[in-house]
Copies of this chain bind each other. A is one copy, B any other.
Amino acid sequence: MAADAPYKLVYWPGLPGRGEHIRLLLEEAGVPYEDTAQMTATTDDELVGTAAVLAQISPDNRGDAVNAPPLAPPVLEHDGLVISQTANVLQYLGQRLGLAGDLAADPNAVYRVSALALTALDGLSDEVHDCHHPVSTSLFYEEQQAESVRASRAFVRVRLPKFLAYFDKVLAGSAAGSGPWLHGGRLTYADLVLFQCLDGTAHQFPRAIAAARASGLYARVFALADAVRARPRIAAYLASGRRQPYGEGIYRHYAELDVTAEDG
């Protein structure tokens, strides 16, 4: 296995989406990577990056001798390996790039970190997405707007506090160690995932997240997010053109969904 084999992220241009978790890991690790979302940056031809994604998920893509075709992006290509599923790609990269815990001291740290990342993705990515597509991803938002308002109200009233309280509890626990991070007193990709989940949730529900921050109930969670944002490589990345603006992706801002727990 070549240590310097290039990393290639295959993901839609024009939105952070699930690919963003992988970008943040690669950026924090400081390793170069190719990103199909950037194939539009200098060409005005969005089809270049989009075509790379469509080729991966085409019914005609049968994979190769060792790699099954993916159902959906993000897809990571590295040194003959072609894998999909955000949490899976993160675990692969996290182990290789020193962001999955102190594996020399305890190889099982990788599973502890993975559980935290998967939980953040469940509650603060998948569930937030489903607030604007509660009935089906196969229908337009406009076809399920009334249901989206109901879903958003239930989310900010019940689910958002549940997940924020959970991560605050994790951060207060012994396994988190000292400092702002979720596990073992060191930065892992689970911290990057939680940061991005909070950033995206704040895009969709700015009033609810502002209220949660102001409440002081989840101070450790927001301190973690602030600490990630202040990492030199992350700060430089967020200020760069490589950071995609939010759009018609996982996290969407609709005024009518921007509710708080007090809205009923």
Contacts and interface: CB of A to CB of B under 8 A. Distances in A.
A9 to B, nearest CB: 15
A234 interface: no
Given A111-B91, A151-B136, A175 B83 contact: no
16 contacts: A59-B165, A59-B169, A63-B174, A65-B175, A66-B106, A67-B112, A68-B112, A68-B170, A71-B163, A81-B108, A85-B115, A88-B114, A92-B111, A134-B134, A136-B155, A136-B158
Interface of A: 59, 62-72, 81, 83-85, 87-88, 91-92, 106, 108, 111-112, 114-116, 118-119, 123, 126, 130, 134-139, 147, 150-151, 154-155, 157-159, 163, 165-166, 169-170, 172-176, 182-184
A116 B70 CA distance: 8
A135 B115 contact: no
Contacts of A166: 71
Nearest to A106: B66
Contacts of A62: 169, 172-174
Nearest to A163: B71
B68 A88 contact: no
B174 A87 contact: no
